[in-house]
Amino acid sequence: MPPPASASPTPLTVRLPDGRTLGLTRYGDPAHRPVVFHHGFGSSGLELPDDAALLARLRLHILAPDRPGVGQSSVFRALTFPSFADDVVAMLDALEIPGPVGVLGWSVGGVHALALAARHPARVAAVQLLSTCLPLGERAVYRHLSWVWKLLRWGQLGFPWLNRTTFLWLSRQWARHPDRTIGWFIRLMRSAEARVTARFSALLRDAAVPGFAHAGRGVYDDAQAWCRPPGFRIEDVRAPVRLWHGQADGVWAPGNIPYLARRLGGAPVHLLPAQGHMLYLENWAVILEELAGLLDGKERRAARGEVSLPEQ
């Protein structure tokens, strides 16, 4: 049975069909409409603003699963975009949520959100991509990558031992010196990212510590999955998609977001001036309001018999 309502945010675990553990954080009242949030690279499901009043007003609750090797989620060396999409569906089944659900994805979590929508279209009602990246291992995408991302992909695949060592060292830094480590990252950021990260430093720090759990194993495996062929087609996404991106994004420049939108059937793009990669933190209420509107529209169409909507 689904867990009873409790204080938000709430840590949970579910047992996956192969015996692994999936950790997640629940925000809001589980009696309300479910939304799945895919966290960013090197972070965890703790990276969300805890705004219980907003969720109650919109009748939403959010499930933010941790990818393998993050937080309480078991390490899974064979991680792929499709494998984690299947894990999320198993999570929804364990919580007795038949779908369809709203889906959010930030940064590389946007690619995981697309994989879920492409692989399990009946379980996804609408998708919001927040400062999303592209799948680095897809051949068609490769020519759209900047030289920096091409170089990072080459290094990740060509020198895996170096990356494994780097993530192991970062894991120790986050565990032993979290305040110093986030301060170091802020100093390396461009102004748009540094400003928001400094404002939400406690939230992002506390999300990064479990993000680098298990000696950084999960971060490394996530990077490897990101660099390999994605195992799904972007064009297979059938749910309505909205993209949010900052014009001053210093992590993933907005130049190839129109390309992604075209591959998603002309999905609308919110391109925000003077905002960077962390824009979801400053626009959280507006993003959730738009998602609630998309879910409301699906429910109205279901009531008219235009779409099938399973019982929640």
pLDDT in tens, 115-150: 999 999 999 999 999 999 999 999 999 999 999 999
**For 160-191, how does the pLDDT look when each residue is reduced to its tens digit (9 = 90+)?**
999 999 999 999 999 999 999 999 999 999 99
* Contact (CB, 8 A) for 130 and 108: no
pLDDT at 309: 39
| Confidence grade of residue 301 (pLDDT, cut at 50, 70, 90) | low
Which among 274, 311, 42, 290 has a CA at the least distance from the CA of 171? 42
**Treating both helix axes as pointing N-terminal to C-terminal, what angle do 178-188 and 191-199 enclose, rounded to 10 degrees?**
150
pTM: 0.93
Neighbours of 146 (CB within 10 A): 12
Domain assignments of the chain as residue spans, ordered by start: 10-303
* Contact (CB, 8 A) for 233 and 263: no
Dist CA 136 CA 301 (whole Å): 36
Q: Which CATH architecture has domain 10-303?
A: 3-Layer(aba) Sandwich (3.40)
